[in-house]
Amino acid sequence: MRTAKPLSALILAAGQSRRFGGGKLRALWNARPLILWALEAALAAPVSEVILVWGGDPLILPLLPPDPRMKTVHCQDHLQGMGASLAAGLKAIDPTSAGTYVFLGDMPRAPAELTANMAKALGGEVRAVAPQFDSQRGHPVLLSAALFPKLMTLKGDQGAGTVLKDLGEGLILVSAPDDGCLFDIDRPDDLDAPMLRP
C-alpha cells in the first residue's frame, strides 16, 4: 500500500500529428474534441493535479474546461519528441507527489476505472503500474517519483517504455477490461471507430 502522498497526472499533448495531417487533438471523436476524452480520464483518476503538456497547437487550450486541479505547460522543445514532452511535464509536477499517471492525448478510451487499483499497487519495490490487454502493455502508466530523474534524461521520441523495460518485478501489469488501453487515433479514418470495439 502506498503512502498518503498525492499523485499527479500528465497528459502528453504536444505531438505534431504528422500522420493525421495536423490538428488531431481538436478533431471530433464521438462528437467531442479528442483531447477532452483523455482529460476526462485523467481528472477521474485519484490525483491532486492534472498537467497538460502542449506543443505547437495552442488552439486546444480554449477547449479545456476549467478545473482547479488542472494546469497547462508549454513544451518549448516539443519538436524533439515525446521525451522532451515528458520532461517538461515532470518539471511542473508538485515536488511532494508520490508519482504520476501518464496519459496520451490521442487515446480517448484510456481505462480510468483502473486508476484507483493502480494507485494501491504503487509503493515499496513497485516503481510502475500499467494496464495490459491481449499481452500488450498500454496506457495510462503510473510512474513512481523515484523514476523521475531517469525519465528526465530521455531524448527524442523515447517514452517511458525505455525505462519500464528494465524494471523487472518493479513493474506490475493490471488486466484491462478491453482494448481501450491500446486504442489511439493516428489517422482521420480512426475517428470513425466506435466507443467500444468487439
Quick: pLDDT tens for 63-72: 999 999 999 9
Counting every residue written for the chain, the total comes to 198
| Residues 3-12: tens digit of each pLDDT | 468 999 999 9
Q: What is the rounded CA–CA span in Å between residue 50 and residue 6?
A: 12
Q: Is the pLDDT of residue 31 over 60?
A: yes
The answer to whether 51 and 93 are in contact (CB under 8 A) is: yes
Spell out the domains of the chain, with CATH numbers in brackets.
Answer: 7-191 (3.90.550.10)
* Cell digits of residue 71: 494546469
Contact between residue 140 and residue 115 where contact means Cβ atoms under 8 Å apart = yes
Q: How far apart are CA 8 and CA 42, in angstroms?
A: 9
| DSSP string for residues in 81-135 | -HHHHHHHHHHTS-TT-SEEEEEETT-TT--GGGHHHHHHH-BTTB-EEEEEETT
Q: Which of 85-94, 107-116, 144-153, 159-168 has the lowest mean pLDDT?
A: 159-168
pLDDT of residue 1: 41
pTM: 0.93
